[in-house]
Structure formats: structure tokens, C-alpha cells
Structure 1
Amino acid sequence: MKLHDCGLFLLPLCLVGGAFAQEAGQTEYTNACATCHGESGTGDGPLAEFLTVAPADLTQIAAHNDGVFPLLQVIQTIDGRSGTRGHGGPMPVWGARFKQDLSGEIGAYASEIVTRGRILALAEYVETLQSQ
């Protein structure tokens, strides 16, 4: 991704190196997503059997979109604050959770910037999980 391709939502991670963003995204995935979606993203996480809505197979997102990874849609699904729902059910609203964790420490504006960066890193990591 080039800096000029970044909107305001994407700016925080565009300002840092790609390797850092990849590592940050993988860490976010491991901490927030793998328990339901599994380490490989196929929906086989240790909590999957206890959920009323099966976790999506994240490796098939591009395949279900004519081979194109819908980055903005994935960002909105992860964020969840706009009312977008990922797989028809109660996926956590990560945008609100990430921001709440930080608001008391760094303030509302700065926590929003960090939250958007975390979500972008996570979405870009999910893109690397796509089946070829």
C-alpha cells in the first residue's frame, strides 16, 4: 500500500513499515480472533464449537468476492461500530473494545487513531490468510 492510497482511516499504519504492520496484525489476530476463527483462519478455533453462529472461514473471503479481497468491508466488519455484521451473528465489536481499552490512558482522539491502526493491521493480516 502506498501512502497516497491511504484514507484517514488507514493513515496510522501507512506511516509505519510493512514488516511492523504485518507483525502487529498477526499479534492482533492471535489475541482477538484465533480463539474463534482458528490459527489458520478456517473457523476451527477452540471456542468455535460453543458459538451459536459458526465463525467464518477467513481464508475464503477473496474467493467469495471474485478473487478480490474487500479490504474496506473487512475493516468495517472487524470494527463493527458502523453496524456491519460479519457472519450474520454476534461477532464482537472490536473497534469499541480496542478504543475503550485506551481511552482512559491517551484520550479519545489518540485512542481512535490507535484503534484504526490496530484494525487495519488486523485486516491486512487476514488478507495474508487467503487461499490461493
Structure 2
Amino acid sequence: MNKQSICRCVVASLLSITAASWAQTSVGLGRADYKDNCASCHGASGKGDGPMHSFLLKPPSDLTRIAQRHGGQFPQELMWEVIDGRWSGDGGPHGSREMPVWGQEFKARAMTEPGDSPRTAEWSARQRIASLLKYLETIQQP
């Protein structure tokens, strides 16, 4: 094996380790955000049975069956729109907007951090939504 091949193998190994580590971290961050922001309505297990569910006009969705309701595939783009909420209008894919507009909320929270700009706050909001999506994928039931 020549020097260039060894370097490529080392770089590929490091990238795969980093990607796996990021995925685990991302799921963990998504789990924490879910617990703090979503479980009160959707329930700790995501079945739509949180302590606030009886106070809502529309019952919260069972988040463990998202993929099942979409032919076995987790609909990343649709779920991004539902969670972010900034571009879906009042109706949107979620129905009524009883659900908070998390894209706006996460960005507003990030703007309270010292030194944050609108650009970094937007990046932070998107990272949080991506982490929530990763977590939601892990709780899907057949």
C-alpha cells in the first residue's frame, strides 16, 4: 500500500468516526429538546398522550407512527416543515398552529446568547430541528 492510499484510509476512518459520533450527539440533543419542548403535548414516549393533550383542540399526533403513516419512510422534509413552522402558514401540514412555531422560537432563544447574530441564531435553530428529526426517527414503530 502506498503512502497516498494509507492517507486516504486514515481520512476515511476519521470521517466515519466523526459522522457516527455526530449522529449520536445529534440524537442526544434531539432527545433533550424533545423532552423539554415536545413531551408536554406528545408524551414522553411520543404517543400523543402528554399531560397537556386534553387541553388542546386537536389531539397531538402519535409521533412513533410517522413513518408508518407515510408508507414506511420517515418524511424528513415534511417533518422539517411541521416542526419549523415558519413557512407552513396557519393551516400547514400540522393542521392548526396550536403547535409552537419552533423555528422562530429556537431562533429567538439563540438570539439571547451573547454575541449571536441573526445568521448564527438561524444556524442554531436549524441544528436543533435537525437533531429533533434524528431523535424522532429513532422512536419510529413498525
The TM-score, its normalising length taken from structure 2, stands at: 0.78
Residue 48 of structure 1 corresponds to 53
3-state SS of paired residue (1:30): helix
Which runs of 5 or more structure 1 residues have no equivalent in the other structure? 1-13
| Alpha-carbon separation, structure 1, partners of 2:124 and 2:70 | 29
Post-superposition shift, 1:69?
Answer: 0.4
Cα root mean square deviation, aligned: 1.7
Q: What residue number does 1:98 align with?
A: 106
Matches within 5 A, 1:30-45: 30-45=35-50
Instruction: State the Cα deviation string for residues 92-126 of structure 1 (Å, max 9, x = none).
Output: 10000000111243110000001100000001111
- Corresponding position: 1:79 with 2:84: yes
Moved over 4 A (4+): none
Q: Structure 1 residues 77-86 or 50-59, which shifts more?
A: 77-86
Q: Which runs of 5+ in 2 are unaligned?
A: 1-18
**What is the alpha-carbon distance in structure 2 between the residues aligned to residue 101 and residue 70 of structure 1?**
27
Map of 1:127 onto structure 2: 137
Residue by residue over 1:11-43, the C-alpha shift from the partner in whole angstroms, topping out at 9 and shown as x without a partner, is xxx7x7111101101001001100000011110
For residues 108 and 80 of structure 1, the distance between their equivalents in structure 2, rounded to whole angstroms, comes to: 18
Identity %: 40
Deviations 1:68-107 (A, max 9, x none): 0001111111000011634311211000000011124311
Distance 2:24 2:139 in 1: 16
Q: Check the 8 A contact 1:36/1:55 in 2, yes or no.
A: yes
8 A contact 1:78–1:86 mirrored in 2:
no
- TM-score, normalization by structure 1: 0.84
Report how many aligned residue pairs link the two structures: 119
